[in-house]
Structure 1
Amino acid sequence: MNKSILVTGGAGFIGLNFVYYILKNTPYNVTIIDSLTYASNPAEILQLKPNSRIKFVKGNIINNEDLKKIMNQNYKAIIHFAAESHVDKSIQSAEDFIQTNIVGTYRLIQLLQDGYAEKMIHISTDEVYGTLNKNESAFTEKTPISPNNPYSATKASSDLLVRSYFETFGLPLITTRCSNNFGPFQNKEKFIPTVIYCALHNKKIPVYGDGMQIRDWLFVEDHCTAISSVLERGIPGEVYNIGGGNEKTNIEVVRNILSVMGKSESLIEYVEDRKGHDRRYAINSSKLQKELGWKQMDPFNTSLEKTVAWHINKFKGSSL
């Protein structure tokens, strides 16, 4: 049995959580390639480096010279997390998103095609489906792709590349599409860490528009167990939705966090809405649950309390 996997973006939020999950729960050795951008966790990588099951390569997946550093072995699977993912930044400039999310995915497909891995799991997002009205049914794997911002457009493009290489060449490619993640190691620019940071330091908490945008929240550790299920039992060519089943308005999440932290709602400050701000996401994970046996561990409130505690410990004494 091949016991090595390649994790792209393994120093980032979801990728790092997945690496820790794999080390704790499986016998796999892990090669990480990550360019260590602002959104990565280099201190955690330093702690992981002495582990004999870890090999870390600093490199960019769009750079063929960097990819050569990981082409000295064959892998059980490529788990492709590496992506630019912050919507606001994509609205300001989409260049990095096009390069990393589209070109980078193509480079990894080439590695698969050249025989460096037995399969590849492409980690995508529910944002490729676009937006839902309040009473519409949740996204399924059959929902048409209809992205509404530059970030989600680049992820949709990479999804289509993956599909095309399965259909044309029969490559063992699988796509997962997740709802909004939260948990340890998430960058402070993201919604939930921003709320926690501002509340901790008694700063105003910016809430876009009326705060009634709805997101389906998925605890990152549950996401990791889902990807592990796909790694072991997923079928090439398939798409698997991974959702939390926790639809919450943004303002509801803010109030939940303030309640956990014992902070006043007077910290809330409504600001001008973001361009292209999708109103609602909701994702149907029944295919993953029925076919691969996945289920979540804890209810939303329990996972949120864990997340708040982790970020408070991280943010103490820090500054934006």
Structure 2
Amino acid sequence: MDKVLVTGGAGFIGSHFVKRLLKADDVSQVTVLDALTYAGHVENLGEAFLSPKLTFMEGNILDIPLVDELVGRHDAVVHFAAESHVDRSFLTAGNFVTTNVLGTHTLLDAARRLGVAKFVHVSTDEVYGPLVTGSASERDPLRPTVPYAASKAASDMVALSHFHTYGVPVCVTRSSNNYGPCQHPEKIIPLFVTRLLKHEPVTLHGHGEHVRNWLHVEDNCAAIELVLRAGAPGEIYNLGGGTDLTNKELTGHLLRLCGADWDAVHYVPDRQANDIRYAMTWSKLSDELGYQPHRDLMDGLAETVEWYRNNPGRWAPLLRNPAAPRAEIRIQPATEKEKRMSHA
């Protein structure tokens, strides 16, 4: 594993993974391909730009010539790039299908034609749909209920079909909810933290009884690296091992860490199609690849809150206009001439 292409590497999880991969002695080059939409920012990579191993390219995974060029120059692909916010998928479901399904197909088709040693497709536990009891294993059927999860389930099937039909060495990972520093403030933990730090109220849907499993982003990235290195092609790996909490329990921890009380919490009617509980087993990852998470939830939440407390310049502008690109930090894509020169 010498040269690795990471799509969506300027996003929350992708940027943490890139920083981890740059520390590996057997990796000589990490190329990030990111469209720098509202959730992707080069600041997430930060000190990673000090590494001579890192190359950044702004571009879209639907750009076939660009994807062909990049895939052809790398040994492995780790595919994070996706539309990922459930609420946004209610309003623009077509964008989720286009990016998550067609974008994934574009990458896989390039991998099929040009050849890669490993392709890791990063997915989510939400593809299994809600479970009132029990836990989903990798063998269970997919029952997504919202457009985001449906688009990810479809992309999983596209990825696995390229293994079974064409022999592309694909692995699929499905992780539970991630948390940690640098996450976009549309997600529940940074949303609540940033609002509480501004002494603003937060809202819980229904009675706050929805259950999610919370896994620190560094544990998730460690698991993805294990799959990249040792995962068997054609296999699915659930990446779990975090802590199950109701949204109300999670809110209580965040209130304490932010120095707020329950007066800051407002209850609102539940949204349509709000899955009550996600749960999955991760024994396959543990038994076959030796994975064990290491980050304690309480320590991880405290570290996360402290990051948002100390870095308002990173998240406050996003709250003002979260859909707008940060023009002053955008990196222009290379021209065709520059691309040809880079091969000289």
TM norm structure 2: 0.88
Cα 1:45–1:185 shift into 2, 3 Å = same
Retained in 2: the 8 A contact 1:212–1:251?
yes
Say whether the 8 Å CA contact 2:201–2:266 is kept in structure 1: yes
Q: What whole-Å deviation, never above 9, does each CA across 1:40-69 have from its counterpart, x for those lacking one?
A: 122244654452100111000012133244
Query: How far does the alpha carbon of each residue in 1:110-156 deviate from its partner, in whole angstroms, 9 at most, with x for none?
Result: 111012421100000000000011xx211111121000000000000
- The SS at the match of 1:70 is helix
Distance change (3 Å), C-alpha of 1:21 and 1:46: closer
Distance 1:203 1:287 in 2: 42
Q: Counterparts of 1:141-180 in structure 2 under 5 Å?
A: 141-180=138-177
Counterpart Cα distance in 1 of 2:44 and 2:12: 11
Tell whether the 8 Å contact from 1:139 to 1:283 is kept in structure 2 after alignment: yes
Residues 1:191 and 2:206 aligned together: no
Classify 1:86/1:303 alpha carbon distance in 2 versus 1 (closer, same or farther; 3 Å).
same
Q: Percent identity?
A: 41
- Residues of 1 paired with 2:5 and 2:155: CA distance? 18
Question: Which secondary structure does the structure 1 equivalent of 2:70 belong to?
Answer: coil
SS in 2 for 1:231: helix
Assess if the C-alpha contact under 8 Å between 2:68 and 2:110 holds in 1.
Answer: no
- The corresponding residue for 1:37 is 37
Contact 1:213 1:278 in 2 (8 A): yes
User: Distance between the aligned counterparts of 1:239 and 1:261, measured in 2?
Assistant: 38
Q: Distance in 2 between matches of 1:57 and 1:306?
A: 30
SS at match of 1:84: coil
- What SS does the aligned partner of 1:189 have? coil
Corresponding residue of 1:242: 239
Structure 1 residue aligned with 2:263, among 253, 262, 266? 266
CA contact (8 A) 1:112 1:119 kept: no
Q: What letter is aligned with 1:282? A: A
How many Å separate the matches in 1 of 2:2 and 2:35? 24
Which residue does 1:205 correspond to in 2? 202
Give the secondary-structure state (helix, strand or coil) at the position aligned to 2:33: strand
My pick for the range that moved more, 151-160 or 17-26, is 17-26
Distance in 2 of aligned mates of 1:245 and 1:71: 33
Partner of 2:329: none
CA distance in 1, matches of 2:46, 2:210: 38
Match of 2:16 in 1: 17
Find the residue that maps to 2:298 and give its secondary structure: helix
AA in 1 matched with 2:255? L
Amino acid at match of 2:34: D
Deviation at 1:245, TM superposition (A): 3.5
RMSD: 1.6
Mapped to 1, the partners of 2:69 and 2:308 lie a distance apart of 34
TM-score normalised by structure 1 residue count: 0.95
Distance 1:251 1:282, change over 3 A: same
Aligned pairs for 1:49-128 (under 5 A) are: 49-71=49-71, 73=73, 75-128=74-127
Contact 1:112 1:118 in 2 (8 A): no
4+ long deviations beyond 6 Å:
none
Contact 1:17 1:185 survives alignment (8 Å) = no
Q: 2: CA distance between counterparts of 1:61 and 1:31?
A: 13
Amino acid at match of 2:162: Y
8 A contact 1:7–1:30 mirrored in 2: yes
Unaligned runs of 5+ in 1: none
Aligned match for 2:274, one of 252, 274, 277: 277
State the distance in 2 between where 1:245 and 1:174 align. Answer: 21
Q: Which amino acid aligns with 1:88?
A: D
Shift of 1:264: 1.3
Shift in Å at residue 25 of structure 1? Answer: 4.0
* CA-to-aligned-CA distance 1:217-276 (integer Å, 9 cap, x gap): 110000000011111110001000001341100011011011122211210111221211
Q: Where does residue 230 of structure 2 map in the other structure?
A: 233
